[in-house]
Amino acid sequence: EPEVTQTPSHQVTQMGQEVILRCVPISNHLYFYWYRQILGQKVEFLVSFYNNEISEKSEIFDDQFSVERPDGSNFTLKIRSTKLEDSAMYFCASSEDRGLATNEKLFFGSGTQLSVL
Amino acid sequence: AQSVTQPDIHITVSEGASLELRCNYSYGATPYLFWYVQSPGQGLQLLLKYFSGDTLVQGIKGFEAEFKRSQSSFNLRKPSVHWSDAAEYFCAVGFTGGGNKLTFGTGTQLKVEL
């Protein structure tokens, strides 16, 4: 089965530093997402991205966050100045279509564990 | 706004025993419901989903779930658990017009005793 690839699997950074999390979605997919899970809490939607622009974002996704599809294959999440509370598992996901159609599903990557010290 | 509750944070069952993981949702209309599983070091894998029709849904790995509108529940079941089923299980809800934006529960960690 095709898969979404995320790198690195673990990232440690100092508070205030910029960090870029990378994802390679499935090749024919057009819709891309970032979710995150703070330890012990729910998996939360951050942002969706289609046609090189943000489709929707949550209130978590403030000005410190940005997403980009720089080269047609990668999909990145940048945190400009990390805070302690940004420590979480970040999941990338992609889908072929936007809607929750009968045969549609999200494909999730294995996640990047971000630790901000 | 929609929400999902998974009341059991941890569950331990013996291998071969039956399993039921609980999920309750809050949403004004008919939701789309999902169960995902996450094994250590792995991504979220879709087990099954409910959109409409038959309220008993069959999924991969021998799992099934039943949508009960009157109870706002979508419990996951398996008649005989295998040691490889040890993982974290997430219930999620989507809705019409929501695209693929899902609201997740906090997850249930399943431990299987041999």
The answer to whether the CB of B91 falls within 8 A of the CB of B4 is yes
Are the Cβ atoms of A56 and B101 closer than 8 angstroms? yes
Residue indicated by tokens 């849904």: B57
Lowest mean pLDDT of A15-29, A35-49, A90-104, name the range: A90-104
B11-23 burial: b if 16+ Cβ within 10 Å, else e: bebeeeeebebbb
The shortest CB-CB distance from B105 to any of A9, A42, A102 is to A42
pLDDT at B56 over 60: yes
Average pLDDT over residues A60-75: 92
Tell me the pLDDT tens digit for each residue of B10-53. 999 999 999 999 999 988 777 889 999 998 877 788 899 998 88
Q: Which of B44, B49, B50, B54 to mutate to test the interface with A (most CBs of A within 10 A)?
A: B44
CA atoms within 13 A on the CB side of B111: 6
Alpha-carbon gap, residue B76 to B59, rounded angstroms: 10
Nearest chain B Cα distance for residue A109, angstroms: 5
- Residue B4 is given by DSSP the state E
Is the separation of the CB atoms in B32 and B50 below 8 Å? yes
Give the rounded percent of residues in chain A with a pLDDT score beyond 90: 70
A109: chain B residues, CB-CB within 8 Å: 43
For residue A44, the chain B residues in CB contact (below 8 A) are 104
Average of per-residue pLDDT across B73-99: 91
Beta bridge partners of B18: none
Distance, CA of B58 to CA of B50 (rounded, Å): 9
Our CA-based measurement puts residue A43 at a distance from the nearest CA of chain B, in whole angstroms, of: 6
Task: Note whether A2 and A105 are within 8 A (CB).
Answer: no
Of A40, A48, A108, the CB nearest to B43: A108
* Residue B105 sits at the chain A interface (C-beta within 8 Å): yes
For B103, the enclosing helix (H) or strand (E) is strand B103-104
Round to whole Å and give the CA distance between B93 and B5.
10
Name the residue with tokens 């894998």. B45
Give the count of alpha carbons within 13 A of B101, CB side only: 20
Q: Which residues of A touch B45 (CB under 8 A)?
A: 108
A96: three-class secondary structure by DSSP:
coil
pLDDT band, residue A104 (cuts 50/70/90):
low
